[in-house]
A = this chain, B = another copy of it.
């Protein structure tokens, strides 16, 4: 018998709790010791804020599958190198030892892949036996090796559905009202989420007409010409803009140093606001914009069934890989077949994954730079397939509100 710690890290998603359910059920099926959840990611390990997941009922675990956000709390806290953050890594091992932790499951994106790798390294240095497994999670879809990242498919489904719906709205009104609509979506460095909006379009007439990717330098003149051309031919124009849209010098539109427009107005706010001002002042077209922000990554009501299944399976398989003796690995999704779409969960060393980023390949973006290619569509489309509706109560999704007591502390307070 040995114990384990599971923790959630980084920006949460609508399906990270599904991975938690996968981890819990897999652990229970293996009939091992206690699975603890650390509160607020690695901070919960450092501060010895631990929850005994044995207390979760089967009903609660089932509800976890339907609940967005991170039920145990997540964190934005990046550990540095083993040298720079040595005290913290040693504290992690101290906590592991105090609770007889032999398995560590870290559920997050790039930073947590790095942390997970370093935890396995410090353990090796100190001669402490641990199996550290990274469970991938990021709406940004920017982890390497894995075909896609749990959390992404549901955001993709949400933004593509939303822009299709808003596009229909605009089409109904444009002859006497708004001509241009902008949806600002997440993805600071990689354009995967913006690209997903492209799934809503079935031909050149159907929205979105323009997609702005972080990977394609923003050219104001080219952009405005395109907006004008679309409005001239279609009558209205729908734009999907990544929050990370940037100029040829890599300066994000929201952070441009030139913060005054032609009228001396300061340019505040993010990409949508800036594009909207541009379209108003340079083209004189009435525009509206929506900023999806946290709505897109918490929209469990519109999760992709494929995404839900994959999130569950990386958690479930991750536990099995660890128990089978794997260490310093990530459980990842392998696309086995495109037509029909088939996938399986495999594992790969974190050495090949941590601190790398997967951007949109150039051949996923068309020559003009404003749309996705057939290849991109074929890649994303299976990931949004299927629905997985939560249960509703009084007209609203009935999400789990977990109340738990933390285990009594055994160690001194940690001071970093």
* Residue positions of A touching B, CB distance < 8 A: 8, 11-12, 14, 40-41, 43, 67-71, 73-77, 157, 160-162, 164-166, 168-173, 175-177, 181, 183, 199-200, 206, 265-269, 272-273, 277, 288-295, 297-302, 304, 381, 383-387, 389, 392, 394-397, 399, 401
Q: A-B pairs with the 8 shortest C-beta distances?
A: A384-B395, A69-B168, A290-B293, A266-B266, A70-B172, A165-B298, A169-B298, A69-B172
Given contacts A165-B299, A206-B401, A384-B396, 19 further A-B contacts (CB under 8 A): A12-B172, A14-B165, A68-B165, A68-B168, A68-B169, A73-B173, A76-B176, A157-B396, A161-B301, A161-B397, A165-B397, A166-B298, A169-B294, A169-B297, A181-B294, A265-B268, A291-B291, A381-B395, A387-B392
A193 to chain B, nearest CB (A): 14
Highest count of chain B CB atoms <10 Å: which of A8, A69, A300, A304: A69
A43 and B176 within 8 A (CB): yes
A295 and B290 within 8 A (CB): yes
- Copies of this chain in the oligomer: 2
List chain B residues, Cβ under 8 A from A384: 394-396
A175 and B395 within 8 A (CB): no
Please report the C-alpha to C-alpha distance between residue A62 and residue B208 in the assembled complex, in whole angstroms: 26
A292 and B295 within 8 A (CB): yes
From B68, B199, B294, give the contact of A290 (CB < 8 A). Answer: B294
Q: Which residue of B lies closest to A71 (CB)?
A: B172
A296 to chain B, nearest CB (A): 9
Please report the C-alpha to C-alpha distance between residue A269 and residue B298 in the assembled complex, in whole angstroms: 25
A77 and B176 within 8 A (CB): yes
List chain B residues, Cβ under 8 A from A386: 395
Q: Given the interface contacts A165-B300, A165-B397, A181-B294, does A175 sit within 8 Å of B268 by beta carbon? A: no
Please report the C-alpha to C-alpha distance between residue A302 and residue B139 in the assembled complex, in whole angstroms: 22
Q: Which residue of B lies closest to A384 (CB)?
A: B395
Please report the C-alpha to C-alpha distance between residue A298 and residue B200 in the assembled complex, in whole angstroms: 14
Please report the C-alpha to C-alpha distance between residue A7 and residue B385 in the assembled complex, in whole angstroms: 36
List chain B residues, Cβ under 8 A from A43: 175-176
List chain B residues, Cβ under 8 A from A299: 162, 165
A28 to chain B, nearest CB (A): 23
List chain B residues, Cβ under 8 A from A70: 172-173
A381 to chain B, nearest CB (A): 6
Q: Given the interface contacts A173-B75, A385-B395, A395-B385, does A168 sit within 8 Å of B298 by beta carbon? A: yes
8 contacts between A and B (CB under 8 A): A70-B173, A73-B171, A162-B299, A166-B298, A199-B396, A200-B396, A290-B290, A383-B395
Q: Which residue of B lies closest to A292 (CB)?
A: B290
A173 and B11 within 8 A (CB): yes
A12 and B173 within 8 A (CB): yes
List chain B residues, Cβ under 8 A from A267: 268
Q: Given the interface contacts A11-B173, A73-B172, A384-B395, does A162 sit within 8 Å of B268 by beta carbon? A: no
B295 and A166 within 8 A (CB): yes
